[in-house]
Amino acid sequence: MNVFIIGVGLIGGSFAIDIKAAFNDAKIFGIDGNPEHLENSVSLGFIDHASDFDQLDQADVVIIAIPVDATVKVLPQVLDQINDDCLVFDVGSTKKKLCKTVEDHPKRRNYLAVHPIAGTEFSGPKAAIANLYRGKTNIICEVEKTAFKLQEKGMEIFSRLGMRIRYMDPVSHDKHIAYVSHLSHISSFMLGKTIIEKEKNERDIFDMAGSGFASTVRLAKSSPAMWAPIFKQNKENVIETLQEYITNLNQFKELMENDKFDQIYQEMENTNYIKTILKGIS
Amino acid sequence: MNVFIIGVGLIGGSFAIDIKAAFNDAKIFGIDGNPEHLENSVSLGFIDHASDFDQLDQADVVIIAIPVDATVKVLPQVLDQINDDCLVFDVGSTKKKLCKTVEDHPKRRNYLAVHPIAGTEFSGPKAAIANLYRGKTNIICEVEKTAFKLQEKGMEIFSRLGMRIRYMDPVSHDKHIAYVSHLSHISSFMLGKTIIEKEKNERDIFDMAGSGFASTVRLAKSSPAMWAPIFKQNKENVIETLQEYITNLNQFKELMENDKFDQIYQEMENTNYIKTILKGIS
């Protein structure tokens, strides 16, 4: 099985590691615009051959793991070049624009729209790890538009990697993921910004920061190259979630200004319900 | 050494565990308004004797580990009852009001104002753990107002528990801790609220939430009984930090509305500087 991975960073590299481990016959080919990343992924051992777009006709599976703006450009080109039995899937955090882009492509049936809910705040091939996807949710959009045999090929990979499958339409996907993922990133980035601005002349202050702060601001380490295109593609949904978040923060501030600390207590107690929701997410 | 712990929850209980391990001669007495907590702490083994305020004259050390509004009431009563060689310290997340409250108390020299930057999002005696304080920063305010011999007694405990000491005046403490701790809790609580409100009719959606969301919203599990009084006591500083955070979020939203995604990229890249700051905080 020839697996071509376009983008050998955290996500693509972690797929390479697990597919090599799960499929004896897998040969992994890497394609990356950054020669240093490609070199690193070969010397780290999870890519067998540095490759390029010209060789895509030899692929049984192509995984596109690059920022979502680049994926929109690259996916149609990949579909143009693959053979009829090749499965192509992307792993991006937005799905609507991409599905729209290829809806009339003659090889639409070779494409599966995939979003594995997995990652870390790190990036690049050195961030790739084994078992990143084990136990994680994998959202598949418009599954009915993919050829049945190629759906099966995808499921075999996701199943051996230990993922749980959820089906969803791309519009719902983009709407809900704005709440449970994209908004968290903005809240974290702006928290980091607020504190860096305020405390820039007081380096010692960060001795006061504990694990709670580290946890809340962790996502502010994330890659701008990955996240700016996500916010752009999911602009309307993200703006809506952000407005609701700002409204809630303003209400909290007003409660404080008016000394309504009983209501603040109540707000927090209600939100403790998040414990139930988080059960099972680590 | 008779150590009285007022409030046998996560913080007080974790002190009990480590002090028992570090001092062979330590006898730990627990005082708690909640009889069930007191019972649990005895059966968990980190409190040797359930006790009450009448016995405080036998104390060599008193640790007050209760919400900050209760501490303001309890600290003067404790100071009234202890003997002259007894060290009293609290562990609250606000320091200005407390230091002000006891500034003219005849036993002010027996009190050390302490804030260990340690904890988890859990609470109660069952949340108490060993080594919670190892490698953590311990902020001490107005150290010069505490009797030298009692400073030494405190340092011996903090040193054996593995803490790093930082000295700070209470006004600066409350101002900076608003940024690196109190604001994180509000951002997390309001993130949890926004998502619970939006998704209350769509339970399945939480399958889409990954480790990034879990990390960002972790502090929303925190105890309202602990946090409402902190926000009340540090009202002015917290409102100021919250306003700056809201301003930054509004600016981000405006950049999105005006399609300034290059600037959004730049904002995020600048904030990636948080990586440097977080080094060493786990």
Q: B31-49 pLDDT, tens per residue?
A: 999 999 999 999 999 999 9
- DSSP-derived secondary structure letter, B160: H
My answer on whether A20 and A143 are in the same domain is yes
Q: pLDDT of B85-102, one tens digit each?
A: 999 999 999 999 999 999
User: For residue B179, is pLDDT > 60?
Assistant: yes
DSSP per residue, A88-99: EEE--S--HHHH
Out of A265-279, B66-80, B174-188, B217-231, pick the least confident: A265-279
CB contact at 8 A, B34 and B65: no
Rounded to whole angstroms, how far apart are CA atoms B155 and B150? 9
Domain span including residue B230: 173-278
Q: Is B261 in contact with A120 (Cβ distance < 8 A)? A: no
My answer on whether B55 and B136 are in the same domain is yes
User: In chain B, which residue's Cα lies nearest the Cα of A236?
Assistant: B257
The average confidence (pLDDT) of chain B is 95
State the smallest CA–CA distance between residue A78 and chain B in angstroms. 27
Quick one: how far is CA A49 from the chain centroid?
Answer: 25
Q: pLDDT of B196-245, one tens digit each?
A: 888 776 666 777 888 888 899 999 999 999 999 999 999 999 999 999 99
| Tokens, residue B114 | 């302490």
Q: What is the mean pLDDT of residues B260-280?
A: 89
Using an 8 Å CB-CB cutoff, list chain B residues near A206. Answer: 180, 277, 281
Using an 8 Å CB-CB cutoff, list chain B residues near A266. Answer: 224
Residue B152's pLDDT is 98
Q: Is B252 in contact with A222 (Cβ distance < 8 A)? A: no
| Tokens, residue B223 | 């105890």
Could you give the maximum distance between any two Cα atoms of chain A, in Å? Answer: 68
Find which of B95, B215, B234 to mutate to test the A interface (most A CBs within 10 Å of its CB). B215
My answer on whether A103 and A17 are in the same domain is yes
Residue A203's pLDDT is 65
Residues constituting chain A: 282
Return the amino acid letter for B70: A
Q: With DSSP H G I counted as helix, E B as strand and the rest as coil, what are the percentages for chain A, rounded to 5? A: 60, 15, 30
Question: Any idea what the CATH number is for the domain that residue A145 is in?
Answer: 3.40.50.720
Question: Any idea what the CATH number is for the domain that residue B241 is in?
Answer: 1.10.3660.10
**Directed axis angle between helix A224-233 and helix B261-271, to 10°?**
140
User: For residue B247, is pLDDT > 90?
Assistant: yes
Domain end (from A131, A148, A168) = A168
Using an 8 Å CB-CB cutoff, list chain A residues near B229. Answer: 261
Of B197, B183, B195, B174, whose CA–CA distance to B246 is shortest? B183
For chain B, the domain total comes to: 2
- DSSP-derived secondary structure letter, A137: E
Phi, psi of A224 (to 5 degrees): -60, -35
Domain end (from A145, A168, A191) = A168
Using an 8 Å CB-CB cutoff, list chain B residues near A185. Answer: 212
Q: How many Cβ atoms are within 10 Å of A273's Cβ, its own excluded?
A: 15
My answer on whether B139 and B22 are in the same domain is yes
My answer on whether B161 and B240 are in the same domain is no
State the smallest CA–CA distance between residue A277 and chain B in angstroms. 7
Q: Is A166 in contact with B282 (Cβ distance < 8 A)? A: no
Of B199, B219, B249, the CB nearest to A179: B199
My answer on whether B198 and B97 are in the same domain is no
Find which of A189, A201, A226 to mutate to test the B interface (most B CBs within 10 Å of its CB). A189
Going residue by residue through chain A, which has 282 residues, state the pLDDT in tens, using 9 for 90 and above.
999 999 999 999 999 999 999 999 999 999 999 999 999 999 999 999 999 999 999 999 999 999 999 999 999 999 999 999 999 999 999 999 999 999 999 999 999 999 999 988 889 999 999 999 999 999 999 999 999 999 999 999 999 999 999 999 999 999 999 999 999 999 999 999 999 888 776 666 777 888 888 899 999 999 999 999 999 999 999 999 999 999 999 999 999 999 999 999 999 999 998 888 777 565
Of A189, A219, A242, the CB nearest to B253: A242
Which residue bears the tokens 């801790």?
Answer: B177
My answer on whether B130 and B61 are in the same domain is yes
My answer on whether B193 and B87 are in the same domain is no
Q: Is A257 in contact with B275 (Cβ distance < 8 A)? A: no
Of B211, B220, B277, the CB nearest to A282: B211
The alpha helices in A23-67, defined as continuous H runs, are 35-44
For residue A164, the SS3 value is strand
Count the alpha carbons within 13 Å of B192 in the hemisphere toward its beta carbon: 28
Q: Is B199 in contact with A188 (Cβ distance < 8 A)? A: no
My answer on whether A52 and A128 are in the same domain is yes
My answer on whether A139 and A189 are in the same domain is no
Using an 8 Å CB-CB cutoff, list chain A residues near B209. Answer: 117, 180-181, 277-278, 281
Q: Is B199 in contact with A176 (Cβ distance < 8 A)? A: yes
User: In chain A, which residue's Cα lies nearest the Cα of B205?
Assistant: A176
Tell me the helices (H) and strands (E) count for chain B, helix number first.
Answer: 12, 8
My answer on whether B257 and B159 are in the same domain is no
Rounded to whole angstroms, how far apart are CA atoms B137 and B160? 14
State the smallest CA–CA distance between residue A225 and chain B in angstroms. 7
Domain end (from B168, B199, B224) = B168
Contacts of range A198-207, beta carbons closer than 8 Å, 24 or more positions apart: A198/B179, A198/B241, A198/B244, A199/B176, A199/B179, A199/B180, A202/B176, A204/B166, A205/B176, A205/B179, A205/B180, A206/B180, A206/B277, A206/B281, A207/B137, A207/B164, A207/B166
Percent of chain B with pLDDT over 70: 98
My answer on whether B82 and B192 are in the same domain is no
User: In chain A, which residue's Cα lies nearest the Cα of B118?
Assistant: A210
